[in-house]
Amino acid sequence: MPSAAFPSQITKHYELRQTIGSGGFAKVKLAVHLLTGEKVAIKVMNKKELGSDLPRVQREIDAMKNLSQQHVCQLYHVIRQMNAYSWSWRCVAVYAPGGELFDYIVAKDKLKEEEARVFFRQIVSAVAYIHDRGYAHRDLKPENLLLDDDQNIKLIDFGLVAKPRGGMAYHLETCCGSPAYAAPELISGFPYHGNEVDLWSMGVLLYALLCGFLPFDDDNTCKLYKLIQKGEYEVPDWLSPGSAKLLSQLLQVNPKRRVTIKQLLNNEWMMKGYAAPVRWTSRIKKDKPDPDVLLELASYYDHPLDTMMKKVLEWKYDEVTAMYFLLCMKKSKGQLPELLPRY
């Protein structure tokens, strides 16, 4: 156990604040990065809650290290504490002051089509990006979609992500995710394709955004599964014909008839009021670090610029990676010249 004399890696770089989320096997705490003053979220996972599900933690961390996009929650720093008897992981990531999209929908009852479209375009952007990188999320639901301080979507919780060997063509055998958002083929136990499962969950998500309740809902899980496998749901009269049509394209029981993520990018409903298809490629260029931030880091660590560039490009998700991303955040808020203390 770290003592006051030997501060843990966490307290060396972060000031822990209140718990902002907990559930399942993880707890999320708000924290402040001491050097930049930026707020971060720290997801604490330990063996006690996870049981032997260490692979799930490893999957989530590996996925988050490979995913960097404007609508995917950015991982900053991974701190693991292992001893002979146990282990714990702390993932430092973007803090989302807007909280969960779930709470936003509950507070507003349901969203107008125009507002739902803004969010859904960002969700499609995030999913198109992770699918292109060969990942299926498999647990898409409003609780795993957070809102940042500009009310932009940040996708989290890659604990159930699947990166089948050879991209998305392989069937995934495991059943997972949250029942109300689970695709028929997933709950039937048949082999399924992760990307098709994600599209079904996005249909349930869009329905929840537009209606304020779920298309398939029953307290009894078996009855819920039967409803999902039948694929019949209520179409409230406030839904526009365009919304109803898109929902029918997403909530197709036969995954081969379901709309694909690429078709969604310029789908008629998605394009209403917009001049361009959904932009899904990443605006974050990890292979070309920001020169202003590099300069600030090189000055702080007292390294030549090319040495600092090499250290950043190792992407170790240590304090250097955290400093890089947090200084990028400060630059985006016009605060970069605020010099870091020099030792």
Residue 126 vs 146, nearer CB to ligand NF5: 146
* Beta strand pairing call for 39-46 and 99-100: unpaired
CB of 165 to ligand NF5, least distance (A): 26
CB of 115 to ligand NF5, least distance (A): 19
Catalytic residue among 139, 157, 198, 290: 139
Residues found near ligand NF5 in the complex (CB under 6 A): 20-21, 28, 41, 43, 73, 91, 93-97, 99-100, 146, 156
- Angle, nearest 10°, between helix axes 113-132 and 194-211? 170
Which amino acid, one-letter code, is at 35?
A: L
Rounded to whole angstroms, how far apart are CA atoms 162 and 59? 8
| Residues contacting 244, CB < 8 A, separation 6+ | 235
Q: Two tokens at 59? A: 């999957």
The terminus-to-terminus CA distance of the chain in angstroms comes to: 28
CB of 178 to ligand NF5, least distance (A): 16
Radius of gyration of the chain (CA): 21
State yes or no: is 139 an active-site residue. Answer: yes
Sign of the Cα torsion 311, 313, 319, 325 reads positive
Point out the residue whose Cβ comes nearest to ligand NF5.
99
Number of neighbouring beta carbons within 10 Å of residue 143: 17
CB of 1 to ligand NF5, least distance (A): 25
Residue 41 vs 261, nearer CB to ligand NF5: 41
Residue 95 vs 216, nearer CB to ligand NF5: 95
Q: Which residues are catalytic?
A: 139
